[in-house]
Amino acid sequence: MSGGLLVAGTTSDAGKSVVTAGICRWLVRQGVKVAPFKAQNMSLNSFVTTEGAEIGRAQAMQAQACRIEPTALMNPVLLKPGGEQSSQVVLLGKPVGEMSARGYHGGRQQRLLGTVLDCLEQLRGTYDAVICEGAGSPAEINLRRTDIVNMGIARNAGLPVLVVGDIDRGGVFASFFGTVALLSPEDQACVAGFLVNKFRGDVSLLEPGLDMLHGLTGRRTYGVLPFRHGLGIDEEDGLRVSLRGAVRESVVAPPVGEDVLRVAVCAVPLMSNFTDVDALAAEPGVVVRFVDRPEELSDADLVIVPGTRGTVRALEWLRERGLADALVRRAAEQRPVLGICGGFQILGEHIEDDVESRRGHVDGLGILPVHVRFARDKTLTRPAGEALGEHVEGYEIHHGVADVQGGTPFLDGCRVGQTWGTHWHGSLESDGFRRAFLREVAAAAGRRFVPAPDTSFAALREEQLDRLGDLIEQHADTDALWRLIESGAPQGLPFIPPGAPA
């Protein structure tokens, strides 16, 4: 078998990432050597590969679905928003500068097409199949001229396109039809058909609409995936605790001890890698919520200040909302606080930033004895070490360089009283360390909470990926999907007017 497929969507968040992961897991269970690919990703949730390249976490998750190591080839262009008008451009895993949306779409994006196609070709030369994920909608006609992630990549690489629609939002038939009808004849020829996502109810009630859609477009529907809780793992952006749904909403796991443990995560602007809290939410008896008001910290047993792409901006936001004062009071009262990456920097004494915000000297919250200086080169590593008597692994993505001037060493950061700070993302995915940390938090908070002795975050993730594979295997026409991946879009698909505007 040798082939490929582009999974596009009628909208952002239609389910492209999870459908791509599900197809990957289904294929690898059939013995197919498969890899994921997304030409261009816009996300604040990223990951560091073993070679020190930064890519979107969704592609890292999809690589895990394929049971392979993620590489920079799988996500050659990553855009990390730094505000309303600009993003950091990460090319082949390394930052190459900041650029406005107008500047990027005005020429830079199209010049990256050769790089993107070369990465895809390398993957196709190594794997039996490459399952590609689009971005947003392929019918964004204002951006088609410079598109390198949807129909631009499909046309140039000869990929069939499967359009995913979220029926839970409503209007899925209009979205399917409109998506095709706004494409040029050449682009329409690549669109093989549709996949309905998040359907609730009796599929037989949907079938007349699917038949009419086929009659109107000449394109079939390759499957209707039922709504399932907790499948949004490693979201690109948004406020979602991915594994919490799988644990809380399927089988309710009671706490092992007498108490639950309440975790409040400060929803700072440009929050990055909020997936760090997924491992906490997977623990029976741990309740995680995102907060933006100081009174919401009062009953929390642990407060987390997460990573952010705008450390100084997040610090100002905490001060404006009164959360900064609440954090300082918490620390003084010896109530647990954890700062991760940008959150760690915020907890320090001062920040010298001539790179990210260009604000120069800025006073931090002064909770930890740390001075932070922003360097132009980004730190991208996969560290491992020991903390609280347990082995820990993580990954680092930051421009801030921390000069720790006191406290007790904690990973690469420090601890003072019940306040911890580290640049390490993903440390809480280390099961033994997570349990030891939660025991410390529970003791400091006076809670009779006991971590479950057998929670394996890696096993939960594998279960979730298998659930995605099951969805494809049980609710998609896998024979037709196989032919599509192997042979491309059917010949002679009709043109649906009006097509793209001239």
Query: Tokens standing for 497?
Result: 């007017």
Is 425 one of the annotated active-site residues of the chain?
A: yes
Among candidate residues 398, 399, 423, 425, the one labeled active-site is: 425
Total residue length of the chain: 502
Q: Where are the beta strands (DSSP E) in 322-460?
A: 337-340, 350-353, 360-363, 370-381, 384-387, 390-393, 396-404, 408-410, 413-416, 419-422
Is 361 one of the annotated active-site residues of the chain?
A: no
Query: Can you give the pLDDT at residue 254?
Result: 80
Query: Tokens standing for 116?
Result: 């993107």
Handedness of CA 472, 477, 481, 483 (dihedral sign): positive
Tens place of pLDDT per residue across the chain (502 aa): 579 999 999 998 899 999 999 999 999 999 999 999 999 999 889 999 999 999 999 999 999 999 999 999 999 999 998 866 788 899 999 998 887 766 665 567 778 899 999 999 999 999 999 999 999 999 999 989 889 999 999 999 999 999 999 999 889 999 999 999 999 999 999 999 999 999 998 999 999 999 999 999 999 999 999 998 766 666 554 444 443 333 333 344 788 888 999 999 999 999 988 889 999 988 999 999 999 999 999 999 999 999 999 999 999 999 999 999 999 999 999 999 999 999 999 999 999 999 888 899 999 999 999 999 999 999 999 999 999 999 999 999 999 999 999 999 999 999 999 999 999 999 999 999 999 999 999 999 999 999 999 999 999 999 999 999 999 999 999 999 999 999 999 999 999 999 998 7
CA distance 71 to 59: 9
What DSSP string describes 240-258? --HHHHHHHTTS----SSS
Give the H/E segment covering residue 290. Answer: strand 286-291
Query: Residue 26's closest CA among 328, 468, 343?
Result: 468
Among candidate residues 341, 398, 423, 475, the one labeled active-site is: 341
Please give the model's pTM, rounded to 2 decimal places. 0.91
Query: Residue type for 221, please?
Result: T
Angle at 91 between CA 89 and CA 94, to 5 degrees: 90
Strands 302-305 and 261-266, by their bridges, are parallel
3-class DSSP state for residue 104? helix
